[in-house]
């Protein structure tokens, strides 16, 4: 999940440099959503992973 977020961020940066601002904004939005989902899943896995041990 984090890899996909980084990939979308790189696409957004490259598109922004090349002048494709609409594509850059879309890729940045996708990267933000994926990063937030990653953080939520990471915290949930930390909480429930420690419960077993």
Residues 6-25 have pLDDT tens digits of 888 898 899 999 999 898 89
Contact between 32 and 51 (Cβ < 8 Å) = no
Q: 């990063």: which residue's tokens?
A: 35
Listed range (2-6, 28-32, 36-40) with the worst mean pLDDT: 2-6
Neighbour count for residue 52 (Cβ, 10 Å): 5
Q: Which two tokens stand for residue 27?
A: 């890729």
pLDDT of the residue at 53: 53
Neighbour count for residue 7 (Cβ, 10 Å): 14
- Per DSSP, 19 falls in state T
Q: What average pLDDT does the segment 34-45 reach?
A: 92
Q: How far is CA 33 from the centre of its chain?
A: 6
pLDDT of the residue at 9: 87
* Prediction pTM value: 0.74
């Amino acid at each position: 999940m984090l890899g996909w977020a980084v990939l979308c961020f790189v696409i957004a940066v490259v598109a922004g440099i090349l002048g494709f601002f609409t594509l850059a904004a879309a890729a940045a939005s996708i990267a933000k959503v994926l990063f937030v989902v990653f953080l939520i899943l990471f915290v949930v896995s930390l909480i429930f992973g420690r419960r077993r041990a």
